[in-house]
Amino acid sequence: MHPAFSVILFTVISGAGYGLFLLLVAFHLAGIGPVMSHGELIAHGVAALGMITVGLMLSTGHLANKKNAWRSFMRFKTSWLSREAVFAVLFYPFAAIYGLGVLLQGHEVGPLAAVAGAIAAVLAVVTLFSTGMIYGCLKTIRQWNTALTPANYILLGVATGAVAFAAIASVFGNATAMHAGVAIVLLLIAGVLKGIYYFWISRVTGPTINTATTFNRATVRLLDTGHTAGTFLTDEFGYDAGKNTTDTLKMGVFLLAFGTPILVFAAILSGVPAIVAWLGLVAALAGVIMERWLFFAEARHVVRLYHGDQHT
Amino acid sequence: MSALPEFEKHGEQEIKYTTCYMCACRCGIKVTVQDNKVRYIQGNRHHPINKGVLCAKGNAGIMKQQSPARLHQPMRRKPGTERGAGEFEPISWDEALDTLSARLQKIRETDPRKLAFFTGRDQMQALTGLWATQFGTYNWAAHGGFCSVNMAAGGLYTTGFAFWEFGDPDWDRTKYHMLWGVAEDHASNPIKIGLEKLKRSGGKFVAINPVRTGYQAIADEWVGIKPGTDGLFALSMLHVLLKNDQFDWDFLVRYTNATQLVVQTPGQKGDGLILRDEAGNPQVWELEKEAFVDGSQVDIKPALFGEYTAPDGRPVKTVMTLLAERYLADEYSPENTAAVTGIPAEQTERLALEMAHVAFKETIELDIEWTDSWGRKHDKVFGRPVSMHAMRGISAHSNGFQTCRAIHLLQIMLGSVDCPGGHLAKPPYPKHIPPGIKPAKECAPNTPLKSPPLGFPTAPEDLVIDDDGNPLRIDKAFSWDAPVSNHGMMHMVVTNAVNADPYPIDTLIFFMANMSWNSTMNTAEVMDMLRSKDENGEYKIPFLVVSDAFNSEMVSFADLVLPDTTYLERYDTISMLDRPISEPAAAADSIRHPILEPDRNVRPWQEVMVELAGRLKFPAFTKDDGSRKFSDYKDFIVNFEKEPGIGFLSGYRGKDGQSHLRGEPNPKQWEAYIENQGFFLYHLAPNQQFYRYANKDYLELAKHAGWVGKTDPITIEIYSETQQRFKLAGQGLYDGPQPTKQEHKDRLTQYFDPLPIWHKPLEQTRIDEDEYPFYAVNQRPMFMYHSWDSQNAWLRQICAQNYLYMNRQKAESMGIEDLSWVWLESHNGKIRVQVKLIEGCEPSTVWTWNAIGKQKGAWGLKPEANESQKGFLMNHLISELLPKKGDPIDNITNSDPVTGQAAWYDLKVKITPAGPDEQSAWPQFDEVKATPGMSESPDQLRYHAHKPVHLNRDIRDVLTRGSLDDEKN
Amino acid sequence: MRLGLVIDMDTCVGCHACAVACKQWNTSGTTGPLTDYRPYGEDPSGVWFNRIRHYEVGDYPNNKTVNIPMSCMHCEHADCVNVCPTGASYKRPEDGIVLVDQDKCMGCNYCAWACPYGARELDREDGVMKKCTLCVDRIYDEQLPPEERQPACVITCPAHARFFGDFDDDASEVSRLVRERGGVKQMPELGYKPVNTYLPPRITRSIPTDDVRANTLITSVKDWVNKMVAR
Ligand SMILES: Nc1nc2c(c(=O)[nH]1)N[C@H]1C(S)=C(S)[C@@H](COP(=O)(O)OP(=O)(O)OC[C@H]3O[C@@H](n4cnc5c(=O)[nH]c(N)nc54)[C@H](O)[C@@H]3O)O[C@H]1N2
Ligand SMILES: Nc1nc2c(c(=O)[nH]1)N[C@H]1C(S)=C(S)[C@@H](COP(=O)(O)OP(=O)(O)OC[C@H]3O[C@@H](n4cnc5c(=O)[nH]c(N)nc54)[C@H](O)[C@@H]3O)O[C@H]1N2
Ligand code: SF4
Ligand code: SF4
Ligand code: SF4
Ligand code: SF4
Ligand code: SF4
Ligand SMILES: [Mo]
């Protein structure tokens, strides 16, 4: 698949935003970790909502007909993209009530704000899940059509959110071993899952040029696509990254998205000033951008079979 | 459920019927026009040719009408600029016609042959030929000489009709079809319609072709033959038929010259000619009477086999004896031909026997009463349901005439000629063998020719040569170089005119021919020739007139450009005097009429021809009082009569429009055609549909309609005396003109033969085949017509770059990769091309699509267009002259030595990988300039005849209706 | 009703007529115009609803060329519709035709991702997704003569390799062809249940030659004895 930069940035940034929001609510309402100052709460909240909003705005970037974007709420019934849009929007009023509570009441929010916060946190996860399902539900792309896809989206969102949470906390001098520990655990799970994913997609399954053309008993080769130049289909699905590039980038993903932040938090645990969490955040975001790019670049749509690929 | 809106406002639309001209197939079209724009072009389902279907080109007519390459006004080469630079200035039609007619007038008054007029893929040879005849120059021909004259000649000298546009397989009844060397052909739609019928009815389709694409894709059996060897393959199948005693004895006796006796006196005059009585009647041996009798009589029992001694003592043999002696020989056995043709012996034998089985064990019987030429009634028609069709894979080789005859011979042996299930003639064919017209030999000032420029020689007397045996025509047609060049030799015109060989000319008119590019051999050098000047600085071709509708490569070389209309903008006829649109069971002709008003200052060439003819006062165009006979083309078509009652259009004649085929002019004839959807169809009665070479009722109708000159039966010529006469001339045994040069003598004795022979294509006898190991051929893409369609925004999306296709395993063995660039080199030059690997290609053959490569800037294409940057023309490699060996043959045309058919597909090449910095097409040429009036080609197109109609679904519909799964939930 | 096409791979010669007919009809049709990019420049491209692809099955010399025209299959399980967030894509329950409502589409490409058959193409100029309409603007147009109420691609096909009809009607030509010729679907394993069905190449009958083989082969002209055949 052609990796659209706006989509990559959208999913990475808003994913981290949702993750950050989830951790904020969890630490705040469930009372995990140290008590946060009013300022820190606001900082987390603003950052989370900011990332989410910027991400969502970016997501319309790839729409060819933006004036109809509002219509994307219409097919909640069947479309994960519609659901994502609905949940993403639904998230805002609850997040707003919670945010208002925090703004007005500080750490000790009232029950309304607390319940709203909890609902918003659930919606954040549901939105992440929906985003994952946008890709996960496509039978046309075997690299995506797996439960690992939404799991990845959620875990990477939450893990990068955890890194961001720790980084912001460090500014308020409030980053604790708890922050680091949670981040390390989430990063580890996400990393392992990503590893499983890469292994899983390396096993070739699904339709082949034979089932695509219905000729199952001999080698089938493309003679001519029927058009000299590229088409929408070749532009959209014809992307080929090359194995060398993807292998290198995969190392980069593990190094930047998981390795570096885990090391950073390990360092923090062993006494290095918590402010280095920002380094972890930069690495994690860069790594996840790579991960997202690969997610698209390695996805091979079945239409490619008609353009000559033997399998996807 | 929301209802659908009204999509088309039929009230604002108008429907008109005319004839497609996106190619020469001439399908009927139904054009929906809205707002003076074409909404939709569809096939006319009542039309005999296409029966409602339309090909890719026909469907893209809108984009031809939109072409940015359309010429806008008459132009002349800007004074002071060089020919070929493409610098033009617009002039008025008056000025253009004044200049031209003044010049032509002078030529006509002095030496009319100084005008050479050659036409390309047009469909108006009846008019252009008449025009040239009236002008008085024999230097006229259409494109047939480089196209497929071999097929025409092969048929017309054998069965009286032919493949190409003169006959069709009986698609409704055939059970076995063999297709030889056809990628698309002129019957583009009919062949597709026919193949589907054949397959649906369970018939077998065998395709003989080195390449498996297009029609061959759906063949039940693909015979991947080596190019140029079909003649041997056909004769090898003939060998199998003879060996197994499988031939139609009755048919051969009744309708062919198989029983006629041939004089056997080698080395003496008269050898190889048919034994005739005083009156010229062919003699046969009557088995009951045991005597020589006139073989043209009926109810005799002639011997098919036998050797006898004629009353004058000369030994004679029947034609069939000679045939069997020749083809029973071991050299024709499948085992021995396999190495040359590449076809395993088993396959050759099996295919021959399969045809025999279908012809003789699956014979068709129809209860149709008919009367033969001798007045005998028969109550049945028998059909041998094996049919064949062949075209340029056969034709475009220098042995194509003989090969074509060999294929017809197979059909004759099987008795599948103009019978149910076989190969059927299309009116006005069959004709007597050959048709009775002889080529004009004399030109005189201010005098029309005595006969048309082109005709059918039957003996050396008919050649168009002077007393010394030198060619008289500028293309050297009908000379010793190519005696039976029935269609002229357009591919030689530029070379000969520039070399003043046989003489210089003054004015050259090209109509609808891209002779500086895809339609010429040796393109790059021909471009130089067109620009070449003599020592006085004058152009060797002093004045070059081009009639074109588009900014083709040819236009830049013109001194005067006469811009034509598009096919949707003019009156035109597809005339019974030419090659009409007839079907086997119906005579038919058709017209075009303007569907759209031209938005440019252009005129139909038809009008220009009639106008010039009037100005030059051609007798046929001038009244006794010296005034013009015809006001315009429409008037000409209505009122011109070739002979009483016969004109360009055969339908709706007579004052009341009720006489068909022959009748007085009808002033409302155009209206009648337009009303009848642009065509006229005359159905033959069942008793006139078969055996038309000896069918009384048919031949009488044909005589009435002027299709044949006499009602005598047509005897199919297995044995061609015409061939023998020329052979004798070569041997020095002919009473009449004989060649004086050794090379001509050799060619006549070697390549003329009364019974089909196979010989190596000529190019291959003059090069080192080890050095050039690959055969190189072209195919027509189904979605492109020659050079015309690169200007078509839709069609060029399908293919804007051609590749050199080669067999994958072969390429891999040479280390050549898919999509790599290679050098392709022939004896005549080299080009750089990109390779694509394919399974379906005979390993020693490479091929490409014809005419995709374009000169930069031509056809309204941008300089960066794929056609010029990556596409290529094979033509650069093909020489119009035979490969040089330092002998007198060096200057002889690269054509079939019999017919002068351009030998495009004799080409042999070598392939070497191109270097890393050689990753583009070569050669490249200067950019063709836009001509005045052309606007910049757009960067985007959004053609539509009307605004899209909104579906207007309401919100409830949107919310509740998704997929069907929704509904089921 | 379950409307769709049957395409006969036994007779399709790959001529592209149906593709161009489709382009021609639909550029002025309900989802027109179908924009062409760089029509006279490098790498010309544009929006098409029907594309013909050419394949080779098997290795030389046992190779067969097949031409496969592809347009929207009007799938029973049309995921392209399910995934569309705006409701621009919809499947008509009354006949199964899958359409895009240009006025509602936001050009997100998601439906094209969900389509296994490459049937959807975004018009970059209009910013909306376009696809085969099964010529809904022809087949229901009662002002057209009945025999012309057929998709443009079907009407034009010179090899009669395309058939239009109702797959729910057992007596329809399409149902009959699918039954008799063993119609096949592309990538059935994906579960889209495409309605359009392809007919595989026919098996050719074998032609006996025993009955035309001579017991003793003729070796010379002398082997023939003349028959008394009257002219
Ligand atoms: N779409 C389209 N239709 C056209 C035209 C066009 O440009 N486009 N042009 C028209 C014109 S002018 C003409 S003359 C006709 C020509 O129509 P075709 O006769 O179909 O001409 P070609 O495309 O030259 O096809 C020649 C075929 O013969 C094969 N071949 C080459 N050499 C040999 C050989 O030695 N033996 C055998 N058995 N096969 C061989 C080639 O692979 C190719 O398939 O088409 C007409 N129709
Ligand atoms: N290498 C190779 N070369 C070949 C062949 C091959 O197989 N291989 N085939 C040969 C054969 S068979 C043929 S017939 C020739 C084709 O030879 P041509 O007859 O030359 O065919 P085109 O190049 O299509 O068109 C000639 C010109 O007609 C112009 N034209 C189009 N429409 C109109 C019109 O309405 N009015 C006027 N006045 N002009 C118009 C076009 O713009 C173009 O410049 O090519 C030959 N060249
Ligand atoms: S075959 Fe195609 S281009 Fe040629 S006349 Fe027919 S519809 Fe037109
Ligand atoms: S028009 Fe018919 S034969 Fe031609 S590509 Fe389409 S389906 Fe095949
Ligand atoms: S072919 Fe593609 S666009 Fe058409 S219904 Fe099926 S999934 Fe949808
Ligand atoms: S591109 Fe248009 S039709 Fe396709 S999913 Fe998006 S909104 Fe729906
Ligand atoms: S049914 Fe209509 S829209 Fe669909 S491919 Fe055929 S012509 Fe195009
Ligand atoms: Mo031709």
pLDDT tens digits along C169-203: 999 999 999 999 999 999 999 999 999 999 999 99
Query: B458: Cβ below 6 Å to ligand 2?
Result: no
The 3-state DSSP class for residue B585 equals coil
| CA distance linking residue B817 with residue B692, whole number of Å | 54
| CA distance linking residue A159 with residue A161, whole number of Å | 5
| CA distance linking residue A152 with residue A291, whole number of Å | 10
Q: Edge to edge, what strands does the sheet with B13-19 contain?
A: B13-19, B28-34, B37-43
- What pLDDT was estimated at residue B964? 56
| CA distance linking residue B684 with residue B660, whole number of Å | 12
B836 → chain A, closest CA residue: A223
| CA distance linking residue B784 with residue B788, whole number of Å | 7
Q: Does the beta-carbon distance from C107 to A81 stay under 8 Å?
A: no
pLDDT tens digits along A115-148: 999 999 999 999 999 999 999 999 999 999 999 9
- What pLDDT was estimated at residue B963? 62
- Site residues for ligand 1, CB cut-off 6 Å: B 23-24, 121, 147-148, 180-186, 188, 208-211, 225, 227-228, 230, 391-393, 397, 777-780, 782, 784-786, 847, 905
CATH (one of 3.40.50.740, 3.40.50.10090, 3.40.920.10, 3.40.50.300) for B84-149+438-563: 3.40.50.740
**Contact residues, C window 96-115, toward A, CB-based 8 Å cutoff:** 104-110, 112-115
DSSP string for residues in B656-706: TS-B-SS-S--TTHHHHHHHTTTEEEEEPPGGGSS-GGGBHHHHHHHHHTT
| CA distance linking residue C33 with residue C35, whole number of Å | 6
Average pLDDT, chain A: 95
Tell me which architecture the domain covering C3-71+133-230 has in CATH. 2-Layer Sandwich (3.30)
B809 and B841 Cβ atoms separated by less than 8 Å: no
Query: What are residue B276's DSSP bridge partners?
Result: B282
| CA distance linking residue C12 with residue C157, whole number of Å | 9
Q: Does the beta-carbon distance from B942 to C33 stay under 8 Å?
A: yes
| CA distance linking residue C218 with residue C223, whole number of Å | 6
- Helices A260-269 and A148-171: crossing angle in degrees, nearest 10, is 40
Which tokens hold the place of C81? 């519709």
- What pLDDT was estimated at residue B956? 83
Cα Rg, chain B, nearest whole Å? 28
B183 and B528 Cβ atoms separated by less than 8 Å: no
Query: C52: Cβ below 6 Å to ligand 7?
Result: no
Burial status of residue B643 (CB atoms within 10 A of its CB: 0-12, 13-18, 19 or more): exposed
Q: What average pLDDT does this structure show over A52-65?
A: 91
Q: Are strands C197-199 and B315-318 parallel, antiparallel or unpaired?
A: unpaired
**In angstroms, what CA-CA distances link A224 with B438, C3, C68, C160?**
48, 29, 11, 22
- What pLDDT was estimated at residue B844? 98
Q: Does the beta-carbon distance from B962 to A75 stay under 8 Å?
A: yes
Side chain identity, residue B781: P
Query: What are residue C129's DSSP bridge partners?
Result: C122
Task: Give a yes or no: residue A183 inside a domain.
Answer: yes
- What pLDDT was estimated at residue B969? 39
| CA distance linking residue B400 with residue B391, whole number of Å | 10
| Ligand 7 atom at minimum distance from C21 CA | 7
ipTM of the complex: 0.97
B265 and B314 Cβ atoms separated by less than 8 Å: yes
The 3-state DSSP class for residue A269 equals helix
Q: Are strands B821-826 and B829-838 parallel, antiparallel or unpaired?
A: antiparallel
Q: What one-character DSSP code corresponds to residue B886?
A: S
Provide, as residue numbers in chain B, all residues whose Cβ is less than 8 Å from the Cβ of C13.
192, 195, 214-215, 217-218, 782
B841 → chain C, closest CA residue: C60
Which tokens hold the place of C47? 């929006």
Provide the b/e sequence for B315-346 (b: ≥16 CB within 10 Å): ebbbbbbbbbebbbeeebbbeebbebbbbebe
Provide, as residue numbers in chain C, all residues whose Cβ is less than 8 Å from the Cβ of A306.
53, 68, 70, 117-118
| CA distance linking residue A166 with residue A173, whole number of Å | 10
- What pLDDT was estimated at residue B962? 64
| CA distance linking residue B538 with residue B693, whole number of Å | 54
- The CA distance from C172 to the nearest CA of chain B, in Å, is 18
Which tokens hold the place of B215? 């029609």
Which tokens hold the place of B239? 């060998």
Provide, as residue numbers in chain A, all residues whose Cβ is less than 8 Å from the Cβ of B809.
none
- Please list, in sequence order, all residues whose beta carbon lies within 8 angstroms of the beta carbon of residue B807, skipping any fewer than 6 positions away: B837, B838, B839, B841, B842, B843, B845, C60
- What pLDDT was estimated at residue B1? 47
- What pLDDT was estimated at residue B713? 97
Which tokens hold the place of A141? 């792309």
Provide the b/e sequence for B815-826 (b: ≥16 CB within 10 Å): ebeeeebbbbbb
- The CA distance from A31 to the nearest CA of chain C, in Å, is 38
Q: In 3-state terms, chain A is what percent helix, strand and coil (to 5)?
A: 70, 5, 25
Which tokens hold the place of B680? 């006229």
Domain B762-913, CATH class in plain words: mainly beta
Domain spans in chain B, listed from the N-terminal domain onward? 84-149+438-563, 161-248+329-429, 762-913
> Mean pLDDT for each 10-residue chunk of chain B (969 residues)?
84 97 96 96 97 98 97 97 96 98 98 97 92 98 95 98 94 98 96 98 98 98 98 98 98 98 97 97 97 95 97 97 98 98 98 98 98 97 98 98 98 98 98 96 97 98 97 98 97 97 97 96 97 96 98 98 98 95 97 97 98 98 96 98 96 96 97 98 98 98 97 97 98 97 97 98 97 98 96 98 98 97 98 98 98 97 97 97 95 97 98 95 96 95 94 84 55
**Full-prediction pTM beyond 0.80?**
yes
Q: What one-character DSSP code corresponds to residue B375?
A: S
Q: What is the CATH number of the domain that holds A34?
A: 1.20.1630.10
Which tokens hold the place of B445? 């000032």
- Please list, in sequence order, all residues whose beta carbon lies within 8 angstroms of the beta carbon of residue A4, skipping any fewer than 6 positions away: A62, A296
Which tokens hold the place of B858? 């031509």
- Please list, in sequence order, all residues whose beta carbon lies within 8 angstroms of the beta carbon of residue B6, skipping any fewer than 6 positions away: B949
- What pLDDT was estimated at residue B457? 98
Task: Give a yes or no: residue A216 inside a domain.
Answer: yes
The 3-state DSSP class for residue B651 equals coil
Q: Report the alpha-carbon angle B749-B750-B753, nearest 5.
A: 75
- Which is nearest to C83 in space by CA: A90, B955, A141, B4? A141
B930 and B551 Cβ atoms separated by less than 8 Å: yes
Q: What average pLDDT does this structure show over C105-124?
A: 97
The 3-state DSSP class for residue A153 equals helix
- The CA distance from C207 to the nearest CA of chain B, in Å, is 6
pLDDT tens digits along A228-266: 999 999 999 999 988 999 999 999 999 999 999 999 999
Please, what's the largest Cα pairwise distance for chain C?
Answer: 86
Tell me which architecture the domain covering B161-248+329-429 has in CATH. 3-Layer(aba) Sandwich (3.40)
Interface mutation vs chain B, best among A73, A76, A228, most B CBs within 10 Å: A228
A67 → chain C, closest CA residue: C106
- What pLDDT was estimated at residue A282? 97
Which amino acid residue places its CA nearest to atom 4 of ligand 3? B23
The 3-state DSSP class for residue B476 equals coil
Which amino acid residue places its CA nearest to atom 6 of ligand 5? C75
**Does B356 contact chain C (CB < 8 Å)?**
yes
pLDDT tens digits along A193-221: 999 999 999 999 999 999 999 999 999 99
pLDDT category of residue C10 using cuts at 50, 70 and 90: very high
Side chain identity, residue B55: C
- What pLDDT was estimated at residue B493? 97
Domain range spanning residue A149? 5-306
B404 and B394 Cβ atoms separated by less than 8 Å: yes
C27 and A189 Cβ atoms separated by less than 8 Å: no
Domain count, chain A: 1
B124 and B606 Cβ atoms separated by less than 8 Å: yes
